[in-house]
Amino acid sequence: MSDFDEARAWMVERQIVQRGVRDDYVIEAMRRVPREAFVPSDLREFAYDDTPLPIGGEQSISQPYIVAKMLAAAELQPGDRVLDIGTGSGYAAAIAAEIAGRVDSIERDASLAEGARERLQRLGYENVEVHVGDGTAGLAAHAPYNAIIAAAGGPRVPRALRMQLAVGGRLVMPVGSSQSRQRLVKIVRRDEHDYDEDAFGDVRFVPLVGDDGWPEPGGAARADLRPASTSTPIPLTSTPAAPTPAAPMPAAPRPAALELAIRDAAEPLPDIDSAEFAAFFDRFAGHRVVLLGEASHGTSEFYRARAAITRRLVEQHGFSMIAVEADWPDAAIVDRHVRARPMPGGRSRPFRRFPTWMWRNTDFMGLIAWLRSHNAAHPERETRFYGLDIYSLSESIDAVLRYLDSVDPAAARIARERYGCLSPWQKDPAVYGRAALSGGYAQCEEHVVAQLGDLLKSRLDYAREDGERFLDAAQNARLVAVAEHYYRAMYYGGPQSWNLRDTHMFDTLRHTLDSRGPQARLVVWAHNSHIGDASATQMGRMQDEINLGQLCRAQFGDAAALIGFGTHSGTVAAASDWGGPMEVKTVQPSLEGSVEFSMHGTGLPRFLLDLRPGMHDTLRERLRAPLLERFIGVIYRPGTERYSHYAQASLAEQFDAFVWFDRTSAVSALPVSADEKNHAAETFPFGV
Ligand code: SAH
């Protein structure tokens, strides 16, 4: 079995069968058609991802699931005559051809049509014919059809298509009054004049551009767009601007009902700076581990709210450990600072690597200044600060990038994109191609892994000399043992490196907790994507990614509280590419159909949703359905937001509580100054 065969079998199981597609013809066809042959060669390694992919001409090959869902709805039978509108890559046509007797496929973009025609021929599909033209006119020459499917969304079902449907025939297409959002419509022709019509599932397809569809962008429908039955190929120039990849939207409950349920359950929160704010979180004080999330790595309100809650848990409820999504060596310096211990020589300036603003910001500095004075006033209740992340993650990445920059800049560009995968959902379809493996990239692996091994060794030597070391000998040995495996996975990115990273975070968490005895209680700060139970999200269900929150639930059960944070709009501190400068970017208003959009719809500026079992069961029931949820990491790409930053998740299963700030603003970053020697004790280690 080749890697692709395996990936295909896996894709059909996870993305098609487990999502409820029951049509055996479709399932079997999906098992046979080599999707890797339908995507551009530099994107082959992503062919079986649960996503549409760009195919040139500003168009995309549909996500496998959406193809399966439409063909199952069209109830294809052996021997059927099928009309496929919007050939694109030809993938959907190939699946249809595996089942039906004959498939006619129409594409308005001549070069896409030509590419699909060659591909289908090469793969031996003799029962498919590709035509160039406007599919809104159908293809009278071969009508009537037992099934018609369209992979582009129009404002209505074109009249010609209804007419060309055989009696008993099924038509499935996206229809919507907006160019970027539709519902799938199914029409069955009962007899000459009688049609049944049904709508199911919200989707986003590229627009169906034609005489009985949307006008050509920037003008009326072109006069030279003639029905496909004319034999002359029609030279078409532009394709629709700003296409939205043909990704399915989840089936959302009616927004109004969801908004009402959220409003009913929401506990409005006072201002973060007010004394009452943190008291709302006393209900979690009895937990052993309280995990506080964030929907971005650069939003001030998330930091300030988490700082207020953390202070309360430490001051009033006996929590004595704070662990954050940061490198342990950097956090260890903060730990010494907050406990007024002497600094080790040479390495006392933490968080100097990308993304510096995550910790070098005024909100975080406020927390550590408070923690230092708290510890000074209560030495008997000293609270310690830990970094959970993979040992020297950012230092390692930095080392890889510097090395690749010097030996192979093309490979360095790929690596930058791949490191994006370590913080999720920032892939940009326009640069996705660059992330594919090149020969040079593969050749560098040996050197990179060796370099990282050396780096780890010198760091551990350093830790050994350091009197107050955090890791014991056993954990050091474990790190060394997995290092090579880990660095290889990290070099290539993807779910494996994600899982290694979150498993490592969890091991470190357990290890530190154990080191403080059975009574110790811990507050964790990490991104929602690490904290919200991954098994309730697309990343867990489709990509087999696990995360810290999920592992904590498995280990601590009800003694772990998973608390997510979210926002509708405002500003955020983020970069455009890995290693790029921090920018203050505008957070787009949340997408219609997302969970954030419903929260925004309540009209409340700030609130807490308690999602624990027994609380607000009606709302929990509604929030069990997967909805789009936004994830902004250290990189934010508003231009491709739907594709780069949204994923489906069941909020009620992900979190025990959710904290909402309708409008938010970017953190204020502190400079990374070259000379931090003259720092005042209060502001150290950031030296402002
Ligand atoms: N089924 C395709 C998905 C293609 S995306 C696949 O599996 O790869 C939709 C395609 O519809 C685009 O290629 C676009 O050019 C085409 N399209 C849009 N309007 C059209 C029209 N009126 N007639 C024919 N094709 C059209």
Instruction: Quote the number of domains for the chain.
Output: 2
Q: Supply the DSSP string of 78-142, one letter for each residue.
A: TT-EEEEE--TTSHHHHHHHHHSSEEEEEESSHHHHHHHHHHHHHTT-TTEEEEESBGGG--GGG
Which residues are within 8 A (CB) of 127 and not within 5 positions of it... i.e. 6 or more apart? Answer: 97, 100, 101, 102, 103
pLDDT bucket at 202, cuts 50 / 70 / 90 = confident
Q: Is the pLDDT of residue 246 over 50?
A: no
**What CATH number has the domain bearing residue 175?**
3.40.50.150
Regarding whether 293 and 199 lie in a shared domain, the answer is no
Q: Is the pLDDT of residue 231 over 60?
A: no
pLDDT of residue 1: 60
64 Cβ below 6 A of ligand 1: no
Regarding whether 201 and 275 lie in a shared domain, the answer is no
Predicted confidence (pLDDT) per residue in 122-134, tens digit: 999 999 999 999 9
End-of-domain residue from the set 252, 274, 294: 252
Regarding whether 265 and 233 lie in a shared domain, the answer is no
- Asked whether the whole model's pTM tops 0.75, one would answer no
Q: What is the mean pLDDT of residues 528-557?
A: 88
Among 87, 125, 159, 229, residue to substitute to test ligand 1 (most atoms within 8 Å of Cβ): 87
By three-state DSSP, how is residue 11 classified?
A: helix
Burial class (CB in 10 A: 0-12, 13-18, 19+), 654: buried
Regarding whether 606 and 512 lie in a shared domain, the answer is yes
Annotated active-site positions, please? 62
pLDDT of residue 254: 47
End-of-domain residue from the set 236, 252, 268: 252
In a domain, 439, yes or no: no
pLDDT bucket at 3, cuts 50 / 70 / 90 = confident
Q: Is the pLDDT of residue 681 over 70?
A: no
The rounded Å distance from CA 47 to ligand 1 centre is 19
Q: DSSP code of 557? A: G
Predicted confidence (pLDDT) per residue in 386-395, tens digit: 988 876 666 7
Among 26, 53, 85, 234, residue to substitute to test ligand 1 (most atoms within 8 Å of Cβ): 85
Regarding whether 283 and 238 lie in a shared domain, the answer is no
Q: Is the pLDDT of residue 220 over 70?
A: no
Q: Is the pLDDT of residue 286 over 70?
A: yes
The rounded Å distance from CA 638 to ligand 1 centre is 25
pLDDT of residue 41: 80
Alpha carbon nearest to ligand 1 atom 13, residue: 88
- Lowest mean pLDDT across 51-60, 465-474, 633-642: 465-474
243 Cβ below 6 A of ligand 1: no
* Most confident among 41-50, 374-383, 617-626, 643-652 (mean pLDDT): 374-383
In a domain, 35, yes or no: yes
Which residues are within 8 A (CB) of 31 and not within 5 positions of it... i.e. 6 or more apart? Answer: 8, 9, 12
In a domain, 276, yes or no: yes
Q: Residue 333 carries which side chain, given as an amino acid letter?
A: I
Q: Is the pLDDT of residue 247 over 50?
A: no
Q: Is the pLDDT of residue 431 over 80?
A: no
Predicted confidence (pLDDT) per residue in 159-199, tens digit: 999 999 999 999 999 999 887 678 899 999 999 999 999 99
pLDDT bucket at 203, cuts 50 / 70 / 90 = confident
In a domain, 152, yes or no: yes
In a domain, 26, yes or no: yes
Q: What is the mean pLDDT of residues 355-378?
A: 96
Q: Are 305 and 272 in contact (CB under 8 A)?
A: yes
pLDDT bucket at 679, cuts 50 / 70 / 90 = very low
pLDDT of residue 226: 33
Which residue has better confidence, 57 or 365? 365
pLDDT bucket at 479, cuts 50 / 70 / 90 = low
Regarding whether 299 and 206 lie in a shared domain, the answer is no
Q: Residue 241 carries which side chain, given as an amino acid letter?
A: A
The span from the first CA to the last CA of the chain, in angstroms, equals 59
The rounded Å distance from CA 306 to ligand 1 centre is 47
Regarding whether 12 and 39 lie in a shared domain, the answer is yes
409-420 and 439-465 helices cross at what angle (nearest 10)? 70
Q: Is the pLDDT of residue 227 over 60?
A: no
In a domain, 313, yes or no: yes
Query: Kind and range of the H or E element at 462?
Result: helix 439-465
End-of-domain residue from the set 230, 252, 274: 252
Query: What number does the ligand 1 atom closest to the CA of 213 have?
Result: 22
In a domain, 397, yes or no: no
3-state helix/strand/coil string of 341-363 = CCCCCCCCCCCCCCCHHHCCEHH
Are β-strands 560-574 and 657-664 bridged in parallel, bridged antiparallel, or unpaired? parallel
Q: Is the pLDDT of residue 343 over 80?
A: no
59 Cβ below 6 A of ligand 1: yes
pLDDT of residue 459: 67
Q: Is the pLDDT of residue 473 over 90?
A: no
Q: What is the mean pLDDT of residues 522-530?
A: 96
- Lowest mean pLDDT across 47-51, 512-516, 608-612, 683-687: 683-687
Alpha carbon nearest to ligand 1 atom 4, residue: 88
Rounded to 5, what percent of the chain is helix, strand, coil?
Answer: 45, 20, 35
Regarding whether 248 and 150 lie in a shared domain, the answer is yes
pLDDT bucket at 537, cuts 50 / 70 / 90 = confident
Regarding whether 305 and 269 lie in a shared domain, the answer is yes
Regarding whether 268 and 206 lie in a shared domain, the answer is no
Regarding whether 621 and 553 lie in a shared domain, the answer is yes
Q: Residue 195 carries which side chain, given as an amino acid letter?
A: Y
In a domain, 591, yes or no: yes
**What CATH number has the domain bearing residue 333?**
3.40.1660.10
Q: What is the mean pLDDT of residues 279-302?
A: 97
164 Cβ below 6 A of ligand 1: no
- Lowest mean pLDDT across 68-72, 157-161, 169-173, 327-331: 327-331
Q: Are 357 and 351 in contact (CB under 8 A)?
A: no
Q: Is the pLDDT of residue 200 over 70?
A: yes
Instruction: Name the β-bridge partners of 189.
Output: 195
Torsion, CA 129, CA 235, CA 204, CA 294, rounded to 10: 120
pLDDT of residue 648: 85
Q: What is the mean pLDDT of residues 85-99?
A: 97
Domain boundaries, position 291: 259-387+495-668
Among 107, 182, 216, residue to substitute to test ligand 1 (most atoms within 8 Å of Cβ): 107
The rounded Å distance from CA 39 to ligand 1 centre is 15
Regarding whether 367 and 234 lie in a shared domain, the answer is no
pLDDT of residue 684: 58
Q: DSSP code of 427? A: -
Q: What is the mean pLDDT of residues 103-130?
A: 97
